[in-house]
Amino acid sequence: MRWILLALGCTAALVFAPAHAQKTDKAIFAAGCFWCTEAAFQDVPGVISAVSGYAGGTVKNPSYGQVSSGRTGHAEAVEVTFDPAKVSYEKLLDIFWVNHDPTVKDRQFCDAGSQYRPAIFYLDDEQKREAEASKAKFEKLKPFKQPLLTEITKAGPFYPAEEYHQDYYKKNSLQYKFYVTGCGRYARLDSLWGDLRKH
């Protein structure tokens, strides 16, 4: 907060001058269940928010029920708002890769269907370039033999999911734990990525 003293003839006035606005960027990732994708990004230093929602489909303002049917073309996704001075898009990509199974299409863990497909939805040409470079990097780093099938595609509209889906892993921690344990999500990620999950 800054105050500037203005001299106006015989009088002076203190005027509030807002500090320079924080610059933010956005990124959109699909890594299966959006509850889990949100959990992977929400507490990363430099991330301002992670919002569960729907991306990559053809229906405007879809509901969870519509997306779950697999007929809208959407994937469950998360829109990450971040401060690029504190965390880079490249770092977010690193987090994305080790938090999903890129060896399968149209499914993640116990969830099957195109709505669970893994994807990077790039917002501009620079994000596309970085996403492709990141995929090439992880193709070399990966400790497994299967190719990386995760799609890199241009983002269309992102639609936030219903409020009860937001911060689900925090608001319903017990149910969330049962879900990820039952699906074997983290056990599979650890077996796939090994030590890369620890960085």
Q: What are phi and psi of 29, to 5 degrees?
A: -130, 145
**Active site includes 183?**
no
Catalytic, out of 10, 33, 36, 183:
33
Residue 116 CA to its chain's centroid (Å): 14
- Written as tens digits, the pLDDT of the chain (199 aa) is 444 334 344 444 444 445 556 799 999 999 999 999 999 999 999 999 999 999 999 999 999 999 999 999 999 999 999 999 999 999 999 999 999 999 999 999 999 999 999 999 999 999 999 999 999 999 999 999 999 999 999 999 999 999 999 999 999 999 999 999 999 999 999 999 999 998 6
CATH number for 24-198 (one of 3.30.70.2470, 3.30.56.10, 3.50.50.60, 3.30.1060.10): it is 3.30.1060.10
User: Is the pTM for the entire model greater than 0.95?
Assistant: no
Identify whether the C-beta of residue 158 lies closer than 8 Å to the C-beta of residue 60: no
